[in-house]
Amino acid sequence: MMIDYNGILEQRIHNLKQDGSYRYFLDVQKSARHFPRFYFEDADGNKRSAINWCSNDYLCMSIHEEVINRLTRVAHQSGTGSGGTRNISGTTVYHRELEETLAALHQKEGALLFGGAYLANVTTLSTLAALIPGLVFISDERNHASIIEGIRNSRTEKIIFRHNDADHLEQILMKLPPEQPKLIVFESVYSMNGSIAPMTDIILLAKKYNALTYADEVHAVGLYGNDGGGISAALGVRQGIDIINGTLAKGFGMTGGYIAANRVIVDAVRSFGKGFIFTTSLPPAVCAAATAGIGIVRDNPALRTAFHKNVKRLREVLTCYGISWLYNDAHITPVRIGDAVLCQDVASRLLHESGIYVQPVNYPTVPKGEECLRIIVTPRHREADMIHLAKSLCRDAIYRVSVTTRGRRDKSRLYISTGTPINQQ
């Protein structure tokens, strides 16, 4: 019997399209000069422009002159690719410099670079499980796909604790044998709902029950703490986290990922981690530019101040126009839609009718029913951009209100705004 391989795959894709989870990409012509404005071609081939409201280039470091200059200078000097794995001529002075910069930022003995934080999570978690007999993962239920993948790859025992629930974490820890090795895995800032982990409580529990801690600070590095060291830096608890995972691709505006930890952990992952060993290292110019970006972010708290000021202002403007957003203490402003098809529909209308590019976030990135527009503001967004966004959401969106003000949850209800700011109604 012939097997219809394409037919099997097409059916899966069809199912995605049916439930609104199919991903459509927009070919963005990114502009270093005009960011957050960018250009794209519509379906009729017309050149259009829009404002990007979903970039994770939080501090606009990808368009910083000094970063671009270092990238181009080192590319001219060293060429583009590294030409090898870290072991086979792919470790340059720029890799070393970047790892030292990252270790210092997180006040750790060492750091290790990867192609991305995804790979860093998968490799580190599965490698530790392979090296530490009987290791059990205790993982937050909302952890990122890369963490889930790393734990799954390890084929070791895992126990899930309720999202950000330290009491539930303790209930789990107290039932485990004291002699069993344990690794608590969580994110400091959750990328879709912006919730922040109770890091200090987790560290205290880890000490009490002799567990290791692993914090994914991907959405926090560069943005929190006096020097941009993340939530662990902001809370002054860097030493309490055994392994920090971070990205170079968001707050630092480059590409690549890393872990920072003590000398032994870094050496173990360096020596045994397949996702570290058997892949070409980052280009030298990327490492050099990332080091430059980290230096700028570290030494300029004003960048963080401008960023958080804009987050606050955006939320004020949205609230003023009657747009409900899911409250959180971080910088991510989700507007709940609660339906996958509607979510895509609203995002598409915003792009084509209002020149606003905002990402619809659907299952499996968020649980079904929590579909949202995930809005990201940067220091380069102006007040006029925010008002345009709010007015367009009012005009175009029929969306579900889920959380209106701090801590107060509404029952989901269909909401059509009048488009008039609340204080003028």
Residue 124 or 247 having the CB closest to ligand PLP = 247
- Cβ neighbours, 10 Å, residue 33: 6
Give the separation between CA 250 and CA 59, rounded to whole angstroms: 8
Q: Does 343 bind ligand PLP (CB under 6 A)?
A: no
Using Cβ positions, the residue closest to ligand PLP within the complex turns out to be 116
DSSP 170-229: HHHHHHS-TTS-EEEEEESB-TTT--B--HHHHHHHHHHTT-EEEEE-TTTTTTSSTTS-
User: How many residues would you count in the chain?
Assistant: 425
Q: Are 52 and 357 in contact (CB under 8 A)?
A: yes
Pick one of 124, 191, 281, 359: the residue that binds ligand PLP (CB under 6 A): 191
**Residue 276: left (phi > 0), alpha (psi -120 to 50), or beta?**
alpha
Residue 135 or 249 having the CB closest to ligand PLP = 249
Give the separation between CA 254 and CA 256, rounded to whole angstroms: 7
Q: Are 308 and 376 in contact (CB under 8 A)?
A: no
Residue 202 or 386 having the CB closest to ligand PLP = 202
Q: Does 247 bind ligand PLP (CB under 6 A)?
A: yes
Q: Which residues pair with 336 in a beta bridge?
A: 372
- Measured from the CB of residue 418, what is the shortest distance to ligand PLP in angstroms? 36
Q: Are 231 and 216 in contact (CB under 8 A)?
A: no
216 to 245: interface string for ligand PLP, x by CB under 6 A: x-xx--------------------------
Q: Does 126 bind ligand PLP (CB under 6 A)?
A: no
- Measured from the CB of residue 216, what is the shortest distance to ligand PLP in angstroms? 5
- Measured from the CB of residue 354, what is the shortest distance to ligand PLP in angstroms? 26
Q: Does 146 bind ligand PLP (CB under 6 A)?
A: yes
- Measured from the CB of residue 144, what is the shortest distance to ligand PLP in angstroms? 4
Residue 50 or 147 having the CB closest to ligand PLP = 147
Q: Does 144 bind ligand PLP (CB under 6 A)?
A: yes
Strands 408-416 and 398-405: antiparallel
Q: Does 116 bind ligand PLP (CB under 6 A)?
A: yes
- Cβ neighbours, 10 Å, residue 168: 16
Residue 172 or 221 having the CB closest to ligand PLP = 221
Q: Does 327 bind ligand PLP (CB under 6 A)?
A: no
Q: Does 118 bind ligand PLP (CB under 6 A)?
A: yes
Q: Does 290 bind ligand PLP (CB under 6 A)?
A: no
Q: Does 212 bind ligand PLP (CB under 6 A)?
A: no
Number of residues in contact with ligand PLP under rule CB under 6 A: 14
- Measured from the CB of residue 255, what is the shortest distance to ligand PLP in angstroms? 7
Nearest to 73, CA basis, from 298, 291, 297, 299:
291
Query: Side-chain half-sphere of 197: how many Cα atoms within 13 Å?
Result: 36
User: Catalytic residue numbers?
Assistant: 250
Residues that bind ligand PLP (CB under 6 A): 116-118, 121, 144, 146, 187, 191, 216, 218-219, 247, 249, 257
